Amino acid sequence: MPLQGGYIAKQCPVRAQNNIVLPSELVPVPPILERRFERGRQFEAAVVRAIMRLHPDARVAEGKTTAALEASTSQATADAVSLILGGRLPADITGRRVGKPDLLVIAGSGGYRAVDFKHHMALETAVPDRRGIPGSYSSLDRPLFEDAVLDDLFFARKREDDLLQLAHYQRMLEAAGLAAADGRYGGIIGVERQIVWYDLDAAIWRTPSSSGRQKWRSTMDVYDFEFGFRLDVLATAQANNSDPSVELLVVPVRVSECDECPWWDYCSTQLESGSGDVSLIPRIGWREWKIHHDHGVSDRAALAALDVGTARLVAAGVDVAGMQTLIEGLPEETPVADLGVVIRSKSQLARLQAEGIATFGALSRLCSSTASYSGAALSSLVEQIDLARAALGAEAIYRRRGIGALELPRADVEVDVDMENVEAGVYLWGALVTERIHAVATSEYHAFVVWDPLTPEAEAKNSLRFWRWLASVRSVARAAGRSFHAYCYNASAENTYLRRLGLAVGILHEITAFIQSEEWVDMLRVVDDQLITGVGSGLKLVAPIAGFSWDVDDAGGGESMLRYDVAVGSEDETERESARHWLLTYNRGDVEATLVLRDWLGRKWDQIATIESLDPMPAPSEVEMISTRAIDAITLSDGRRASSSGGTTA
């Protein structure tokens, strides 16, 4: 088995397997991914220069071969150099690991801690009453873990990929006898240029357990499982190359990594065959996929065929399958309340009765396939059934189960907001102001943009200009006695950067009050809470259903980053202006799309089909069946048969 780098633990196991068996031609790396790699390399080089400027005694590992680089690193650790850049740790033959941490920082107790450079934010503004990882960080000029400060204003960003990489280096340090003795800590240097420290033994990841319930685990626990599992996957794939009768360990499952995976064309062909794999349903990940497959449900049609009523009971924790086993052969007219003798859970019996299951007969007729999910701890089973039905239904969008009237706040003055960002921060805030006077609506687009190099100061200045403008629009509306609402689509992104602005310029309380007010409306939540598509609820998916289309080609966040590089970095003025026009047009399209969607919902709500319309027709009740049989048996003397309406038919 070849030695593996840390990336393997965070990589889709199917991708790792395909890299060995090579089932098809690889798809070329997309431009947006190439851009990310290049920007990452540029960022790493800039951080190295900054550290060397602050710490001339730091040592950069040197060597043109793997062996030479390892030797250089080993010499630096033997010399107890405080900061080692670009080193290569001794290969962990037993653990099958290799690794090159961007930085090794000496520990006060001896040994080293690994630090990685990542071209994204490592800190986020702390949100009151929300659980987060404490923001503990040290500066580049005082980089030791022992010099770290705990800042209550920040959370450390929780990115699993980053932390699994640190866990990989931690295991390598331990194998080499180089790990710090006082705790497992690793650091990330993000665009803030601070070393954000993470306790790798802290239980911060909620994962499935053997009982079917969720359990909190540490980064080290998660890493050890994921890395070991992928070693098994790779070993089996190698065996399959030698002997095709050896069955591979994993099959394709749709995950977030798929969009940028070179094997996606190969995997998607398998996933989309027939009615489509269950993992194509939004928010069905590895855990949910396995539960469905363990219950014989592998495609969307099989999932859609499950019974919603039974699923509602199962999702609420009622052991339907167990109860059905208990009542086998017993009189159907027996009240389910009699189960109280053997079932100690009064809440389960009460839930049965609340769902109209009053007798053993009604209980026995619940869908056994759906009942088999009892104990699987799949609380979202009803929604997943509805998502599967929506994905296969004739309509592009449906009203969610139980949703009646549309809940969508409107106002005299409405402002649709959308921001565009790159790794360094936000460079563009776009806003569409719509005013309604005597039922006549007029809209005007405003852009707050900076095309200069995006420093923290430039970002804050431009964002503050937008914020003051937005506050002014709101104040003028209020002064005139007119209602005001601002809207965005997926507020988490805008909220992150608004809080960042508030912290930078000392108006966090003001911005937090706005974010938490009813005047700030997240259209994604409006859609998610009341509508269902079966394929996702992103703006680029939902707005076209309302008849909207963008005025630029390849509208999307990835393309906008590529255009931004041209807009600020091209030496050709024509190219710069073309890219800037594209970005402004794209941003304007985003804010116009949220307005069009809002208006469309207001006009077409009653015409949107309900997800209940896809429910199978209920089977006739026992009483109805007996009545029908009795009527069919009545034949009049003149050859006519009685109808159920009381008349006769020929």
Please give the C-alpha separations between residue 205 and each of 162, 257, 284, 548, in angstroms, as whole numbers: 13, 19, 18, 39
CA distance 352 to 347: 9
| Residue 628 clears pLDDT 80, i.e. is over it | no
What digits encode the pLDDT tens for the residues 325-383?
Answer: 999 999 999 999 888 878 778 889 999 989 999 999 999 999 999 999 999 989 999 99
CA distance 523 to 416: 10
> For residue 27, what pLDDT is reported?
86
Instruction: Give the residue, 544 or 628, on which the prediction is more confident.
Output: 544
DSSP secondary structure code for residue 177 in this structure: T
CA dihedral 371, 377, 380, 386 (to 10 degrees): -20
Mean pLDDT of all residues in 568-586 = 96
> For residue 225, what pLDDT is reported?
96
> For residue 630, what pLDDT is reported?
38
> For residue 209, what pLDDT is reported?
67
* Strands 112-117, 133-139: pairing kind: unpaired
Out of 2.30.29, 3.40.50, 3.30.420, 3.30.200, the CATH code matching 413-607 is 3.30.420
For the chain, the average pLDDT equals 92
In degrees, rounded to 5, the angle at the alpha carbon of residue 195 between the alpha carbons of residues 194 and 198 is 135
Give the residues across from 277 on adjacent strands: 299
Give the DSSP letter string of 449-484.
E--S---HHHHHHHHHHHHHHHHHHHHHHHHTT--E
CA distance 456 to 458: 6
Mean pLDDT of all residues in 510-520 = 97
With cut-offs at 50, 70 and 90, classify the pLDDT of residue 618: low
What digits encode the pLDDT tens for the residues 275-314?
Answer: 999 999 999 988 899 999 999 999 999 999 999 999 999 9
> For residue 642, what pLDDT is reported?
36
> For residue 623, what pLDDT is reported?
40
The alpha-helical segments, DSSP class H, found in 259-374 are 264-271, 286-294, 300-304, 308-315, 320-326, 346-354, 360-364, 368-371
> For residue 634, what pLDDT is reported?
35
What digits encode the pLDDT tens for the residues 467-481?
Answer: 999 999 999 999 999
| Residue 633 clears pLDDT 60, i.e. is over it | no
Three-state secondary structure of 228-268: HHHHHHHHHHHHHHHCCCCCCCCCCCCCHHHHHCCCHHHHH
What digits encode the pLDDT tens for the residues 86-102?
Answer: 999 999 999 999 999 99
Cβ neighbors of 509 (< 8 A, separation 6 or more) are 502
CA distance 98 to 6: 8
Tokens of 310: 């039974």
CA distance 526 to 597: 11
Please give the C-alpha separations between residue 202 and each of 111, 151, 163, 220, 613, in angstroms, as whole numbers: 20, 18, 11, 9, 47
Mean pLDDT of all residues in 12-17 = 96
What digits encode the pLDDT tens for the residues 135-149?
Answer: 999 999 999 999 999
> For residue 273, what pLDDT is reported?
94
pTM: 0.89
> For residue 640, what pLDDT is reported?
38
CA distance 488 to 591: 8
> For residue 211, what pLDDT is reported?
60
Cα dihedral sign, 379-382-385-387: negative
* Strands 123-125, 112-117: pairing kind: unpaired
Mean pLDDT of all residues in 240-257 = 95
Helix or strand (DSSP H, E) at 214: strand 214-218
What digits encode the pLDDT tens for the residues 146-185?
Answer: 999 999 999 999 999 999 999 999 999 999 999 999 999 9
> For residue 619, what pLDDT is reported?
58
| Residue 438 clears pLDDT 80, i.e. is over it | no
With cut-offs at 50, 70 and 90, classify the pLDDT of residue 437: confident
List the strands of the sheet with 484-488, edge to edge.
440-449, 425-437, 413-422, 484-488, 520-522
> For residue 647, what pLDDT is reported?
36
CA distance 121 to 128: 20
With cut-offs at 50, 70 and 90, classify the pLDDT of residue 579: very high
Burial classification of residue 17, based on how many CB atoms lie within 10 Å of its CB (0-12 exposed, 13-18 middle, 19 or more buried): buried
| Residue 440 clears pLDDT 80, i.e. is over it | no
Cβ neighbors of 630 (< 8 A, separation 6 or more) are none
| Residue 631 clears pLDDT 80, i.e. is over it | no
What digits encode the pLDDT tens for the residues 179-219?
Answer: 999 999 999 999 999 999 999 999 999 887 656 667 899 99
Mean pLDDT of all residues in 261-286 = 94
> For residue 366, what pLDDT is reported?
96
> For residue 212, what pLDDT is reported?
60
CA distance 564 to 317: 50
Structural contact between residues 38 and 256, judged by C-beta atoms closer than 8 angstroms: no
Tokens of 374: 């009892």
Domain ranges of the chain: 28-222, 272-392, 413-607, 620-650
Mean pLDDT of all residues in 405-430 = 96
Read off φ and ψ for residue 375, nearest 5 degrees.
85, 0
CA distance 416 to 473: 12
Structural contact between residues 158 and 132, judged by C-beta atoms closer than 8 angstroms: yes
With cut-offs at 50, 70 and 90, classify the pLDDT of residue 439: low
